[in-house]
Structure 1
């Protein structure tokens, strides 16, 4: 049952296959798959040639690729290049929300400097000055909340008008969170001047 074929049987089988002529392939017949473009074939050859042979080289290549991507992203955040921005900053809706916030004065962007002043005032051991500092805390928080609510509703209305068929989910929250950063520290960097309509 499991015996190997004898040499005579193997020789006979080889003669039968050799006696049958090879059928040439019809050049007009389809080969069962599409011909790749030259650029695709060349890029595949290059990637196969550059594929690391061991795990250590693969990890190193992956780390280098990630570092290059991060450098490209940092550059895009600095100059506003839409192609390499992170996913949360991409798209015309997010760009409009950024420009809307950057074009106006926001109370929230002055929170950190005012907080430092209030902190200094609370360290002074004079009851009247400390009560003024507490009142300033209350005033700045109320102004930030009111300003954020105005931005939320106005921006929502503008987005509905400009981008009726786009996905607007998260755009208003994105804009409100941007107001909490000082203008110089915002990323992506502001692309519009104050007062310039987006």
Structure 2
């Protein structure tokens, strides 16, 4: 009995609001948000019109956008344009690290050609030549380690002096990894000549 009465009471106001016509908004009353500029409204309309309607078109549009981003990134890696570089290469600290490595000769950049030579020497069935090849392996590895330690210490010191307020985490490892690549294969492309001060 109580339940049915409460249901009737709830239904009555709902019926009353449904029967009443909706009040028109007063044109002088504030609408609670600023009126957008015409250019903004037009760009929003264009964006709504250009959004794909089905999944196939959406996938195609995202593929094209990704392809355009990758092309822009490749151009940036070739030209050194900071705006489109990957996140790991962005910033003045990373640029300095690249320039520091590219401005000097590094032992590690000759590792690949030397490895090929040593591999050929180890295939020769003469014990003396094989011993020389093993000794060369040892010498190359020791030189690379010493050169990497030198770069780690010297470049780390210069980075701290030049960029005291910047985040320098991972910069030394970034520079050492760059030394392991041959100069012409490095990305982003070197922007300084050998011997130039970065």
TM superposition score normalised by structure 1: 0.87
**Which range is displaced more, 130-139 or 45-54?**
45-54
- SS of alignment partner, residue 131 of structure 1: helix
Q: Does 1:63 align with 2:63?
A: yes
- SS of alignment partner, residue 34 of structure 1: coil
**CA offset at residue 47 of structure 1?**
1.5
Deviations 1:28-52 (A, max 9, x none): x643223444444333222211100
Q: Give the match for residue 102 of structure 2.
A: 102
TM superposition score normalised by structure 2: 0.87
Q: Give the match for residue 76 of structure 1.
A: 76
Q: Does 1:146 align with 2:146?
A: yes
Q: Tell me, in whole angstroms, the C-alpha distance in 2 between the residues paired with 1:186 and 1:152.
A: 19
Q: Tell me, in whole angstroms, the C-alpha distance in 1 between the residues paired with 2:121 and 2:81.
A: 43
**CA offset at residue 178 of structure 1?**
0.3
**CA offset at residue 23 of structure 1?**
6.6
**Which range is displaced more, 69-78 or 35-44?**
35-44
Alignment of 1:12-27 (within 5 A): 13-14=20-21, 24-26=26-28
Q: Tell me, in whole angstroms, the C-alpha distance in 1 between the residues paired with 2:44 and 2:179.
A: 46
Change (3 A) 1:86 1:40: farther
Change (3 A) 1:149 1:59: same
Q: Give the match for residue 126 of structure 2.
A: 126
Q: Give the match for residue 196 of structure 2.
A: 196
Q: Tell me, in whole angstroms, the C-alpha distance in 2 between the residues paired with 1:151 and 1:73.
A: 28
Q: Tell me, in whole angstroms, the C-alpha distance in 1 between the residues paired with 2:72 and 2:15.
A: 64
Instruction: Please give the root-mean-square deviation of Cα atoms over the aligned residues, in Å.
Output: 2.3
What are structure 1's unaligned runs of at least 5 residues?
none
Alignment of 1:23-42 (within 5 A): 24-26=26-28, 30-42=30-42
